[in-house]
Amino acid sequence: MFRSFLIIAITIHMTLGQKTLLKDLDAITLHRGHKTTGRRTSPISQLKCVGGDAAYQIRQPSTVQCQNKGSDGTDVQWECLADLDDKYKFGRIEVVCEGYEYPTDPYVLTGSCGLEYTIEYTSKGHKENNDSIGGVFMLVI
């Protein structure tokens, strides 16, 4: 009887997942092609590019690490880094996590966080991009 109860309890715990206080997460590491965990909602891609002026010019990063830099009193503020060519940078970043009990729950499902981001040109990238466009334009003339 106890053994059956223990197996059921472990199964329920594994199904429900663990919860973590979002503000206590120091860092998260996310990978292209991997999915988040999901309990109340379907898993999503850990990394999702949602635009930017250079979004379609580069291969998206394979790994991104985001560090918790504190709070603005409402939300956790994140700094995300990836191995990007010096012509590109992250623009807008938003770490999205599944609230454990409800969408705005300060506790999140462990492993449920993903990153939505934009990729922008740096000043070097803008210069190189404009130079190459100008060169093509001059050839046409």
Neighbours of 43 (CB within 10 A): 15
CB neighbours of 70 closer than 8 A, spacing ≥ 6?
76, 77
Quick check: 89 and 123 in contact, CB under 8 A? no
Question: In this model, does residue 104 exceed pLDDT 80?
Answer: yes
Q: Residue 80 pairs with which residues in a beta bridge?
A: 66
Would you state the pLDDT for residue 132? 60
pLDDT of residue 110: 96
Pairing type for strands 88-96 and 19-21 reads unpaired
pLDDT digits (tens, 9 = 90+) for 34-83: 999 999 999 999 999 999 999 888 889 999 999 999 999 889 999 999 99
What confidence tens digit (pLDDT) does each residue in 16-27 have?
Answer: 589 999 999 999
Comparing CA positions, the residue from 80, 58, 56 lying closest to residue 68 is 80
